[in-house]
Chain A
Amino acid sequence: MARVLIILLAYCLGMVQSSNAAETIIVVANTADKSIQLNRQQVRNLFMGGALPYDLDAVALPPENHTRVLFNTKVVGLTESRIQSYWAQMRFTGRKKAPVEIKNEELVVEYLMTNVGATGYLPAGVAIPEELTVLYSSK
């Protein structure tokens, strides 16, 4: 009986760990400077159109994408509707342009590989090619 409990406990812990990994967001860039590290506020600024001291261009996933929902919740700290209303204000007052939207995570990796300075967010489990640099992790 004790064995069964231990196995069950180990299984549950494994579930929790893998679920945490799936919920973790990383921010990845195609940048020559591998030493760049951003904090949460800097990532938020970058994806809300702010000018960072690095030559980075944000790319985003579409509004219905689960990774985007996690990114909004854990990193930006705003609801999707607030983000959409913010970009509506920026667009129609000529202040800033929303990041380019890329259909899914696989295509984000492809886009990052071919565009210097491009910066996107991905779930932690995605395999990151060596050429790319992880600038931030939400864990």
Chain B
Amino acid sequence: MKPTKTLALFLSLLLGSTPFCAAADEKDKLQFSGFTRLILGYLDDKNAEYVGYDNSISLDQQSLIGLQADYTFSEQLSFTGQFIGHSGEQRSSGLEWLYLTYTPTKEWRIKLGKQRIPFFNYSDSLDVGFAYPWLTLPQQFYDTAFFSTFEGILANYEYVADNWVLNFEGYWGIYDDKIYLASGEIDTQVTGLFGFNTSAAVNGWTFRAAYNQGNADLTLPGAAQFVEVLNQYGFSQSAETLNPDGLIRFYQVSANYENLDYFIRSEMATMVGESGPVPDIDSFYISAGYNFYPYTIYISYGERDVHYDHPANEIPYGISTELDVVAATYDSVLAGFPDDKTQGTKIGLRWDWRYNVAFKGEVTYVNADKVSNDFALKDLGNFDNSAVLYQLGVEWVF
């Protein structure tokens, strides 16, 4: 039985066994909230796409709406469901969160169900643009985690020691859905998915470190067939290189500082893919901002370096026509996994017009050493490797 079904069954049992309270109590127990963002973007280059934007004004790449329902059964137990409707093609709309929260004490929180994976600082709040200063999160960093949700259990413990707030979090579960690359979508199952992170906050500083891993099983029918052919010929090393199944590990560290006047935020991560078709990725960003309420001005710089293993072709050319075809096919498949290296620099302004409405304007200069077309930046042909994205947006929470 899938965890979502288990959760639904558990919930229906729980609801069925809970006596109905007075209407006023029900109103307090059931709460609705939401968020929406309307983002306008234009890329100044007709030979490229960046975050889905091209050389025309577009409103339908990052605009979205999120609706959340919280039902409180008791002080310890509550249920949350969150639906996200995306306008962009690279994200599917639907239930992003569906979980029960058990809070036995103020220090402990346990969540069971479908949740966002807390890879990085903003991984679980990517869609809530109101929660961060930038209009678009630093893409060189946040375009690296291919799967964003899991079905399973998450436990969080917070400990306060003198002036320090220490937080420890761990989760375990599975991911069984599609991953969305700029070049297409792939059916993926990630099992043995777990991770833990810890953060420490004191005097305006927040430090965080995280480790996550999972066994990814990518459905690439063409690659799987060719792996069989290579094994039949005895080229096991080459077959292993193209085997799409393997462990993926994520490491992250972060340091942030903020006070009334300014902030500095930074994150650095490494992703290690053990199988050939999954790359290794090194990425980071650093951002600084100045507050002059109700305005915040910020700058940000980020880099991403995506690199695959490129083993020498062990299949000899010139022995037979049949082997030549196998060798050439192997080379062409490997060529389908190009490296990617980009840098993004942005400057922007956030204006908090009301306590729950913010307007943002942002200009991002993106520069590429290598473009694979698998990430946010796409070469449409004759791209000169640099472009500027202009964006305006409004963020609203309700």
Which A residues are within 8 Å of any B CB, using their own CB?
39, 41-42, 45, 50-53, 63-64, 73, 77-82, 84-86, 88-89, 91-95
Contacts and interface: CB of A to CB of B under 8 A. Distances in A.
A79 B291 CA distance: 8
B91 interface: no
Question: Looking at chain B's contact residues, is the secondary structure mostly helix, strand, loop, or mixed?
Answer: strand
Given A50-B160, A78-B259, A82-B263, 18 more contacts: A42-B160, A51-B106, A51-B107, A52-B160, A73-B260, A79-B260, A80-B355, A81-B291, A82-B258, A84-B355, A85-B132, A85-B133, A86-B131, A88-B131, A89-B122, A93-B124, A94-B80, A95-B156
A87 to B, nearest CB: 9
B296 interface: yes
Interface of B: 33, 35, 66, 68, 80, 82, 97, 99, 101, 106-107, 109, 111, 115-116, 122, 124-125, 127-128, 130-133, 156, 158-160, 163, 165, 202-204, 258-260, 263, 291, 293-294, 296, 350, 352, 355-356, 358, 397
A39 B203 CA distance: 12
B33 A91 contact: yes
A36 to B, nearest CB: 14
A88 B124 CA distance: 12
B204 A93 contact: no
B158 A84 contact: no
24 contacts: A41-B163, A41-B202, A41-B203, A42-B160, A42-B163, A50-B160, A51-B158, A63-B355, A77-B259, A78-B258, A78-B259, A78-B260, A79-B293, A81-B352, A82-B263, A82-B291, A84-B356, A85-B132, A88-B125, A89-B122, A89-B131, A92-B33, A92-B35, A92-B131
Counting chain B CB atoms within 10 Å of each CB, the highest count among A45, A63, A86, A91 belongs to: A91
Contacts of B259: 77-78
Given A51-B158, A53-B160, A92 B165 contact: no
Nearest to A63: B355
Contacts of B291: 79, 81-82
B35 A81 contact: no
Contact of B130 (A45, A50, A80, A85): A85
A81 B131 contact: no
A138 to B, nearest CB: 14
Nearest to A64: B355
Contacts of A78: 258-260
A91 B80 CA distance: 11
B153 to A, nearest CB: 13
Given A41-B202, A50-B158, A79-B291, A93 B125 contact: yes
B116 A93 contact: yes
Q: Which 5 A-B residue pairs are closest in the complex by CB-CB distance?
A: A81-B352, A89-B131, A41-B163, A63-B355, A51-B106
Nearest to B80: A94
Contact of A89 (B128, B159, B258, B294): B128
B128 A94 contact: no
A94 B99 contact: yes
A97 B68 CA distance: 14
Contacts of A63: 355
Contacts of B355: 63-64, 80-81, 84
B163 A92 contact: no
B352 A89 contact: no
Contacts of B356: 84
Given A51-B158, A78-B258, A84-B352, A89 B125 contact: yes
Nearest to A72: B260
Contacts of A51: 106-107, 158-160
